[in-house]
Amino acid sequence: RRNSTRRRIFLPRLVASMEGPEETYIMVKPDGVQRGLVGEIISRFEKKGFLLKGLKLFQCPKDLAEEHYKDLKERPFFPKLIEYITSGPVVCMAWEGAGVVASARKLIGATNPLQAEPGTIRGDLAVQTGRNVVHGSDSPENGKREIALWFKEGEICEWVPAQAPWLRE
Ligand code: ADP
């Protein structure tokens, strides 16, 4: 009985480690760029130890914004959301690492910055849902989908940083 409990507890971690590294799409939204928060936001993911695989400053066209947020199409705030995301340049990023999707969501904090914990990006740097400075994919599947949507072939680098042996044993 003790054994089966133990197995149940450790199985999700085992499965996660077998699945290998995930990718997530992180984006500094136009308010983050206009407010000079690009370096600060990149820095949080860099310092955590995730691997940066793609990075660009980009003026998002309307059709791309609509495709990216297609699941929110029926929501009343959708037109304003598209206007916001296309209102100025964004910074697009692809980050890799085991568990990066969930961890990045934690680093980013709750959608409403007033409910986001202090220490998170939104908790520290924003005050309103409609100006919440950063996007992060909500699942590994969406991470892949969004990176493919925002980056062209050749814009993603496969590389091993010098610090790799000091991040993982
Ligand atoms: P998250 O970005 O935390 O994954 P959602 O996927 O629910 O959150 O929403 C996507 C984005 O749409 C939010 O980050 C925010 O910019 C915008 N948004 C969500 N809800 C609202 C709202 N009630 N009013 C205005 N904008 C909203």
Kindly list the distances between the CA atom of residue 31 and the CA atoms of 27, 38, 50, 131, in Å, as whole numbers in the listed order.
11, 10, 24, 6
Catalytic-labelled residue, pool 135, 136, 143, 150: 135
Q: pLDDT tens, 77-95?
A: 999 999 999 999 999 999 9
CA distance 101 to 138: 7
> For residue 65, how far is its CA from the centre of ligand 1 (angstroms)?
13
> For residue 69, how far is its CA from the centre of ligand 1 (angstroms)?
9
Number of helices (H), then strands (E), in the chain: 9, 4
Q: pLDDT tens, 26-59?
A: 999 999 999 999 999 999 999 999 999 999 999 9
- CB-based pocket (< 6 A), ligand 1: 72, 77, 81, 111, 129-130, 132, 135, 138
Question: Which of 129, 133, 146 should be mutated for ligand 1, with most atoms under 8 A from CB?
Answer: 129
Q: pLDDT tens, 117-156?
A: 999 999 999 999 999 999 999 999 999 999 999 999 999 9
pLDDT score of 17: 46
Active site residue 68: no
In DSSP terms, 17 is beta-bridged to: none
Q: Whose CA is nearest to atom 25 of ligand 1?
A: 130
> For residue 169, how far is its CA from the centre of ligand 1 (angstroms)?
37
In DSSP terms, 57 is beta-bridged to: 91
